[in-house]
Structures are given as C-alpha cells and as structure tokens.
Structure 1
Amino acid sequence: MLRIDPDTTGRGPRTTAVRRGTAGWALLGSELKVLFRRSRTWAMLLALAAIPVLIAVVVKIASSGPDPGEGPPFLDRVSQNGLFAAVTGLVVSIPLFLPLTVGVVAGDTIAGEAGLGTLRYLLAAPAGRLRLLAVKYAGAAVFCLAATVSVVAAGIGIGAALFPVGPVTLLSGDTITPGESLLRLLLVAGYVSVSLLGLSAVGLFISTLTVVPVGAMAATVVLSIVAQVLDSLPQLEWLHPWLFSHYWLGFADLLRQPVEWGSFVDNALLQAGYLAVFGALAYARFARKDILT
C-alpha cells in the first residue's frame, strides 16, 4: 500500500509504504487532521456555539421572560433551568445553521480535492475509490457530531452560568435529576447528528458531480431547504416520510419518561436509506470520474 505525502521538497508528492490493513485508518486520520486544522471549520463551529449563547444572553437581559409557546420551543423554560438553553439552541440551529455547515463540509469532500488538483494524488496509491469515498463520508459524519456537540456544550455552559440548574421537568411531566438530564442531552445530540447523515450523503454525491466546491456546497444547502419546505406542505403528506428532514425535530420524544424510541429508529432507518442510495450513486459516478480533468 502507498501513501501520498505532501510535497515539501519541490520534487512532487512522495510515496511511502503503508500496510494495507492500516491504510484506511491512516487515510481517515489524515482527513480529520485536514478538516479540523482549517480555520473555516473552527469558524463554523464557533458560529454554531454562539447560537445558544446569544439566546441565553437575550433571555437573561430581557425585562420579562417569554410567555409559554412564544418563540422557539423550550424558550420559555430557559430562565427556569439553564439546561434548556442547549435544547433551544438545537431547535433554532436545525432548520438552517446546522444544514448550512454540514452542506459546506459535505459539498467540499470530493469537489474540493478535484478543484485543488489533489484528487489525482490521493488516487495514485492503490487505496481504491470506494475507500476514499468512505473516508470522505466518515469525515463529514464526524463533523456532524462535532457541530451538534458544539451547540449542546455551549448551551450547557452558558445556561449554567446565567441561570439556575436543577431537576428538569420533561414533556411527559416527570422530573429527572440534572445528571440524568445531561444524559438526555447526549441522546439528543446523537439523534441530531444521525439526522444529518442523510444530508451528508446527498452532499457527497453532489460533490462527485463537479470540480467547483462552492457549487456543490450551495446545491446541498438548497436541497436541505427544499426538503423542509416540501415537508411543511400538507398537500404532500404522502411524501413527508421519505424526506431526509422529516424527523429532524423528532428528538422531543427523547425528553419524555419513559423514552420513546420510535422516532429515533425511524430517523435512523431513513438516514441509512439515504446513505445507501446516494452512497451508491456517488460511487457509480466516482468510479467513472476522470481525475485528470
């Protein structure tokens, strides 16, 4: 197995022998290093983290709290328990901000390498196009988790700093301890991360269609908005269960006692379906792609 190392001598990329069994992990590690060393990645994560911070600060300085049902869901509970700042931050982020950042990363997976001219070097070693696609998708999936955790962690931090933190009253009316509440928030973060995997697969496929990463990013984000618009039209109710955005806000079922896992399972199966379909389409396109152009 060969690995392509960056050119530091001016004589072109250097190949290094790598055991085939570890090549995939090495490639994934390299992909994650590149992704999380970019200032753009950290700027997006910080922007996401700023959302619950802004919400909590506005609620804190407001002369009176919002009435129940006013504003985003759970907003009226933020002043009563700071942990709800994380949940409200996710509700606000899901329709636009999380899909926007995920679209940027997923749309850049293949098109970014092609646009920079580095794709041919990545495929010069016998790593295989399927393995490269899998690594690129895995990097986008890790970003989905990082993006969601950024919102939740910032919400917990600012909520605890500005508001009291105590037992949480769930949507079912039951009360759980702050420790149990943190576990529920981790479940919610996992739910939202899984919800974004279908969009990542769509973005990966679009990224194989072009060498212009901005175009792939924009198309992915636009499709996420279109899916949500279609999901809001009652005339298309038959289509709703097939849209990757349909279960995005279904994490409310994790805030009940006992936990209702139906939405989680349905959401996971839907995202797995999108991954299977658009992953196959991405490979079909990528397998025939001329990397010299």
Structure 2
Amino acid sequence: MSRAEASAPLTETITDVRPPRALWSLGLLRNEVLTTFRRWRTLALLAVLAAVPVLVGIAVKIETGDGGGAGGGGGGAGPAFISQVTNNGLFLVFTALAATLPFFLPMAVGVVAGDAIAGEASAGTLRYLLVAPAGRTRLLLTKYATVLTFCLAATLVVAVSALAVGALLFPLGEVTTISGTRISFAEGLGRALLIALVVAASLVGVAALGLFVSTLTGSGIAAMATTVGLLITVQILDQIPQLHALQPYFLSHYWLSFADLLREPVYWDDLVKNLGLQTLYAAVFGSAAWARFTAKDVTA
C-alpha cells in the first residue's frame, strides 16, 4: 500500500468528523448569545428596564391611594394608557412599553449593538474570532442575530415585569379598548404579547444602525455613545414642526403605533408603515455594516 493510499482514509475520517457548517453557525450564535447575556452590563440594562414598570406601578398606586383619582390628569403626565392602570393592571404593560420605547429600550439596544464589533476590536479578540471558520459575513450576521435576541428579551422583560406588578397592585379583568369596546382578559393578554413583539420589531433598525457604527471604530465606548447620541438626535428632530415633511422617514416616527393594536378593529396603517420603515433601515445599515466590515483591517 502506498503512502497516499494509507493517508486517504485518515483524511476522509478527519473531514467526516468536522461539524456541518450549519451546526457550527448555531454553536457560534449560542456562544454569542450566552456571552452577551452573561455580561454585567447586559444584566444591569435588563435590571433597569425591569425596574421601570415597578416605579410606574408604585407611583400610580400611591397617587390613587392619596385620592388623586384613577384618570385625573393622567393624560398629560404620562402615556395615554396610564389612566386605565388602576382599573386593570394589564394596562401597566402598555404603559410601561410606551414609557420605555422612546428612550430606555433604544438606549439599551444601542449599547449592545454598538459594542458588538467595536467591543471585540478594543478587547483584541476580533482577529481571533475571524481565525475560526466563520468568515466575516457569518460573524456579522451572528452579531446582528444576537442583538435582535436582546431586543426581544429586553422587551419581554419590560412586559413581564409590568404584568407581574400590575397583577399585584391592581385588579385584572376585561380590557376596554381605545375604541370603547370590551374584550376578554385572555384576548387582552394575547394583544399584550403581540404589542411586545411589535415593540421588539420596532428596534431592528436601531440594532442595524448600532452594528454599522460598531464597524466604524475600534472603541466600544465610542460606538455606544455615538449610537445613543444619534437616536436622541433623531427623536429631537422628530418633534420639530418645521421638519414635518421628513419626519415620516425618521426611525422613531411610528414607534408608538403599537397602540393601534388596542383598537377594535385594529388599525393597521401606521403599524405596517413602522414595520416597513424598520425593515428599510435594517437593510440599509445592515448592508453598510457588511460593506464596511468585509473591508475592515483587523490586523492593526
């Protein structure tokens, strides 16, 4: 037997032992998700998000206990749902999501997304990740999927915390929709879950923006600060009346359209516009992140 013939079975055995590419990708995604959610920074962000419904619920309970009334003055002091919280604790879910979506949720997602690539570069681990058979495109997709996982987890943390606090402090029962009709508690709970999913989907554009910014710098702190700063700037511009022609194209313009899921029948127009706009931002900034990352020099 020649040396080539003897080595052929060994080569085939080694090749067969190598895990399939799909399984390797799932393993990479699993490791990224676990690494992200084990960081103290991520846990601190989730703790802050969970605390917001607690503070809102306690504030409403104290005001009601002092005779402030369930709905008196609530419309101007906070989200429109807050006037219904004392009648039905499920409305604390809608109130908490409306309170966290303009700032807390995007800020948390911006921090995680901004650190996705830049954090690895500043820690010196990016070049070692690229040594593995992932490739730059697959690594970038894995990072983005990890950020999207955080978007969903962060939104559900707010919703679950609000539901628990609402059940402890206020009664639960049939839900009165914005249109004035009444639906069962089970249907209201289903709509609360759907609203949480829509809120999570409203953050996919933020995730793509943060990932793009993360590919532009080797400093995780700079990427996080830039992403959060851009989000704040966009929301300020969205409040300037002179820019009304441009505002429908701003990332945050349709964020609060999830309230239309509490209409009877559901008003889908702004919801579809919001999801379409998020998809557009994800495609544009995702493509920009890919173009930048695939050409990025990580050897320096």
What TM-score comes out, normalization by structure 2 length?
0.90
Q: How does 1:11-90 map to 2 (within 5 A)?
A: 17-62=18-63, 63=66, 64-65=68-69, 66-67=71-72, 68-72=74-78, 73-90=80-97
Matched, 1:151 2:151: no
1:139 corresponding residue in structure 2 = 146
Counterpart residue type for residue 159 of structure 1: G
Deviates more, 1:74-83 or 1:62-71: 62-71
Q: CA shift at 1:136, angstroms?
A: 0.3
1:152 Cα deviation after fit:
0.7
Secondary structure at 1:151 match in 2: helix
Secondary structure of 1:70's match? helix
Instruction: Report the Cα distance in structure 2 between the residues aligned to 1:277 and 1:86, rounded to whole angstroms.
Output: 32
Deviates more, 1:159-168 or 1:122-131: 122-131
2:198 aligns with 191
Number of positions where the alignment pairs a residue of Structure 1 with one of Structure 2: 278
Match 1:213 to one of 220, 237, 241? 220
User: Is the Cα–Cα contact under 8 Å of residues 78 and 84 in structure 1 kept in the other structure?
Assistant: yes
Runs of 4+ in 1 over 4 A off after TM superposition: none
Structure index of larger Rg: 2
Structure 1 residue 18, shift from structure 2 partner: 3.2
Say yes or no: does 1:177 pair with 2:212. no
SS of match in other structure, 1:121: helix
Letter in 1 for 2:37: F
Tell me by how many angstroms 1:59 deviates.
Answer: 1.2
Alignment partner of 1:233 is 2:234 = no
2:6 matched residue in structure 1:
none
Pair 1:292-2:299 in alignment: yes
Which residue of structure 1 aligns with residue 173 of structure 2? 166
- Encode CA deviations 1:6-29: one digit per residue, 9 max, x unaligned: xxxxxxxxxx94321212111111
- What is the percent sequence identity of the aligned residues? 52
Q: C-alpha displacement at 1:261, in angstroms? A: 2.0
Q: Which residue of 1 aligns with 2:11?
A: none
Counterpart residue type for residue 77 of structure 2: G
Gaps of 5+ in 2: 1-16
Higher mean displacement: 17-26 or 201-210: 17-26
